[in-house]
Amino acid sequence: MSSNSDQTIDTVYQELIAKIEALEQRVVQLESNRKPYYTPPVNKASDEKQSALAEEVNDEQIESNIGQYGLAWLGNIVLFFGIVFLVEYLRVSGFALISPVFGLAAVGSVFFLAKYLRESNGYMAKIFDLNGYLLTFYVIMKLHFFATNAIISSYLIVLVLLLAIIGYLMYLSVQRKYAVYSGIAFVFLAITAMLSDSTHLMLFLTCLLSLSSIAFLYRFGWIRLVFLSIVLAYLVNLLWLLGNPLMGHPVQVIDNHQFGFIYLFLVAAVFSSIALMPVKEESYTSTGIIGAIVFNGLGFIVMMGLFILSFFKDAYVLPTGIIAFYCIGYSILLKVKSNWKITAALYAIFGYLALTATIYGIYHFPQAYFFLAMQSLLVVSMAVWFRSKFIVIMNILMYISLLIIYLTTAEHGDAMNISFSFVALATARILNWQKERLTIRTESIRNFYLITAFPMVLYTLYHMVPGQFITLSWVLAAVAYFLLSLLLKIVKYRYMALGTMVAAALFLFLVDLARIELAYRVIALLSLAIISLALSFYYTKKIKKRTAE
């Protein structure tokens, strides 16, 4: 009997629970559909109080950050200089042995504090660690360098100790994945290079520095370290070129390069490998990669320019030729392998700039203008293959700059005039032919080359043919433009034909009729008349055909 009663009670209880849940769902639904009929009044005093409290909390947060982090850095900086000055005071006072001993004891104390605080104050412990490594480097450096009575007479032993510290810092940076250790190690490595005061060791360490930065970039994506290493590597090269004044030498360009430019090439090549880095959006962006490449290029240009001015002023064809060959070849590799497509265009442009210097070094002006103009056509051809509008635009700037310099300064020659005219016409044709490949949606770039070609062709014919045939040559050029328009079905060539006819007529009546012999006047007049009438008949027939349709 009791079991049946219990079952009845359970059933009633479950039904009651179900009804209550249904009622709650109904109330929630009604509340969600009902518009609020009461809006609590705004309490301005309460809002002002909350705003004041928020500002107070913000001020307290700023104060706490300054107190916790700012004072931690300030205290460690003061501690560093205090220990340095005390070590130096002991050395100057005649305690040559006690000075480094005290310094090492201070270093040990700083590291002990860092270890002691690691659990309770991790941020402070990190700063003490950094302080300890800075002090260690300084104390060991003073065992030989910048000391009147060196404790260790062999500078090689001290260099090995310094390199050991650098290696350990790099090891810690890998173990703890802490980029700051690597940054300090790079600075230490640059200082050690300058302390060595030896061409090959000094410049070899810059190569090691560049390799290390690329390794860390590949492993951890530390792009900022690459920028730091670029600055340090080229700075060391610059100081070496100026005689390494850090070691007390006078500031002047060294007498013998000792093939130091080879290390400069190696450093630039190592940094160039950034362009082959895989895509890691979580570590670095395309802006960082391209920025590092440009930064490296600027550093290399400055240093290579100083090298050429110092040692290869009259024989720079070989180094610039090597640079051109490397950059153009590397741009082709990047076109195939790199994930950062604009890098191929950057190296191609840089390579052609070096090739420009090489061509000038071989032929000199004005003969070099012919080959430089033809180089412009080669650049456009590579731009088509690379699908790079950037190269096309840069080539426009190079071409127009070269043309302006030629027309305003150089002794003019038929070969140079022809080359500039031909390149302008050929480039416009290539760009029109491959406009889809280059994704050029406007006519402005092609129009630029056609507009440039129009006066250059007239100018070329003016200087190339005998004076009595100038008008006739311009008329024949107009005929050639008109035939091109029919063959290629491009209206712009007809515009050029009409413009050339107008120019020929003006030249004939303003110049030729007053200076050339009667027979040549007749030839010029008849040729201009015949071609003008023929073109008129063509346009008349074309208009009638269009009207009939």
Q: Specify the 3-state DSSP secondary structure of 368.
A: helix
- State the maximum Cα–Cα separation within the chain, in Å, rounded to a whole number: 144
The encoded tokens of residue 198 equal 């030896």
Q: Supply angle C-alpha 169, 175, 100, rounded to 5.
A: 25
Task: Tell me the CB-side half-sphere exposure of residue 47, using CA atoms within 13 A.
Answer: 4
pLDDT value at position 485? 78
Instruction: Report how many domains make up the chain.
Output: 1
Q: Which residues are CB-contacts of 341 (< 8 A; sequence separation ≥ 6)?
A: 335, 388
Q: What is the pLDDT of residue 206?
A: 92
Tell me the one-letter amino acid at 168.
Answer: Y
What are residue 390's phi and psi, to 5 degrees?
-60, -45
CA atoms within 13 A on the CB side of 390: 12
**Within a domain: residue 106?**
yes
Residue keyed to tokens 């008129």 = 536
**Using only C-alpha atoms, what is the Rg of the chain?**
39
The answer to whether position 95 is within a domain reads yes
In angstroms, the CA 208 to CA 215 distance is 10
What's residue 401's pLDDT?
A: 80
Write the pLDDT tens digit of every residue in 253-308.
Answer: 888 878 888 898 899 999 988 888 877 776 777 788 888 888 898 889 888 888 88
**137 occurs within a structural domain:** yes
**64 within some domain:** no
Q: pLDDT by residue (tens digit) across 211-264?
A: 999 999 888 888 889 999 999 999 999 999 988 888 888 888 888 878 888 898
Whether the full predicted model's pTM is greater than 0.85, yes or no, is: no
Give residue 132's pLDDT.
Answer: 86
CA distances from 427 to 227, 355, 358, 390 (A): 38, 19, 23, 15
Residue 112 in domain? yes
- Which is it for the CA torsion 461, 462, 468, 472, positive or negative? positive
pLDDT (0 to 100) of residue 223:
87
| Structure tokens belonging to residue 57 | 């909390």
The residue type at 464: M
| Mean pLDDT, each 10-residue run in order, the chain (549 residues) | 50 64 64 50 54 54 62 76 80 76 82 78 78 87 78 85 91 87 91 89 92 89 90 92 85 83 90 83 77 88 86 81 86 81 82 84 78 79 74 78 77 74 77 63 70 80 75 79 78 78 74 58 62 60 52
pLDDT of residue 23: 67
Cβ–Cβ under 8 Å, residues 340 and 275: yes
Which domain, by its residues, includes 73? 69-153
Q: DSSP character for 511? A: I
CA within 13 Å, CB half, 85: 6
pLDDT at 442: 55
So what's the pLDDT on residue 2? 44
Q: Quick one: 259 exposed, middle or buried, by C-beta within 10 A (0-12, 13-18, 19+)? A: exposed
Do the domain assignments include residue 92?
yes
Question: Tokens at residue 119, please?
Answer: 């659990």
Residue 123 lies in a domain: yes
**Residue 548: how many CB atoms within 10 A of its CB?**
6
Query: Within a domain: residue 121?
Result: yes
472, 525 in Cβ contact below 8 A?
A: no
What is the token pair recorded at 160?
């090995």
pLDDT at residue 1, rounded to an integer: 43
The values of phi and psi at residue 147, to 5°, are -130, 135
Identify the CA nearest to 439 among candidates 485, 386, 487, 481. 386
